[in-house]
Amino acid sequence: MMKLVFATTNAHKLHEVRVMLPDVDIVDLNSIGFTEEVEETGTSFEENAYIKAKAVFDFCGLPTMAEDSGLCCEGIGGDPGIYTARYGGLPVDHDRNMDKLLSALEGRSRKAFFRTVACFIINEEGEETSTFFDGEIHGEISQEKRGANGFGYDPIFIPEQHTTTFAEMLDEVKASMSHRGRAMLLFGGYIQRLKL
Ligand code: ITT
């Protein structure tokens, strides 16, 4: 079974990705003893995904994947985008984040999309390569929070062609259409071909 490190501090992402990639042995940061806090100083999802993957790859040398994700809302010029996790301030508080977004969108377009960019770094015959995988899901922001599944902004995101929020869906239903699910489908196909 292929082994790779998922460079994330988010236990929900870790759980989702383990379910999405059942044929991969996904090692977490605790298992490799990585305790540094990596600052996301990039100006794009791609840059931040690379910064996270590179820090961990440099530490352990094992094939490493990191992903940066966020919610982009049309009514507020694409915000919070790469600042999605810390939108309501630090420490990260999902309820405060959602309350701030619901207020900001009052009287504005509620169209939004989630995006994930995953970056995979591996050393192949002495050469370090990084490869990127994207996933998006479009939809809208609900008027109020609904549902208790998932994490983050799931209670206020309704994917297009649906009437329920991500937080009202079963995990596997969310995974079948989510930004992360789509990026991991591409990533899963790629690593299968590497035959590690
Ligand atoms: P790592 O950087 O350690 O992976 P993080 O939570 O800080 O963990 P990001 O910087 O990528 O991750 O921030 C993404 C934020 O976007 C996340 O904290 C959520 O608030 C939100 N988000 C991402 N995917 C989501 C999903 O599937 N459902 C709801 N909210 C999501």
Residue 181: the pLDDT is 98
Ligand 1 atom showing the smallest separation from residue 69 Cα: 11
Q: In angstroms, how far is the first alpha carbon of the chain from the final one?
A: 8
**Pocket flag, ligand 1, residue 34 (CB < 6 Å):** no
- Assigned token pair, 151: 């994490």
Q: Note the pTM of the prediction, 2 decimals.
A: 0.97
In CATH terms, is domain 3-194 a member of 3.90.950.10? Answer: yes
Residue 81: the pLDDT is 98
Residue 16: the pLDDT is 98
Atom 25 in ligand 1: which residue has the minimum CA distance?
152
Residue 110: the pLDDT is 98
Residue 1: the pLDDT is 85
Mean pLDDT, contiguous 10-residue spans, the chain (196 residues): 95 97 97 96 98 98 98 98 97 97 98 98 94 98 98 98 98 97 98 82
Task: Spot the catalytic one: 23, 58, 68, 154.
Answer: 68
**Pocket flag, ligand 1, residue 54 (CB < 6 Å):** no
Domain segments of the chain as ranges: 3-194
Q: Residue 182: which of 151, 162, 148, 159 has the closest Cα?
A: 159
State yes or no: is 23 an active-site residue. no
Residue 11: the pLDDT is 96
Residue 48: the pLDDT is 98
Atom 15 in ligand 1: which residue has the minimum CA distance?
85
Ligand 1 atom showing the smallest separation from residue 174 Cα: 27
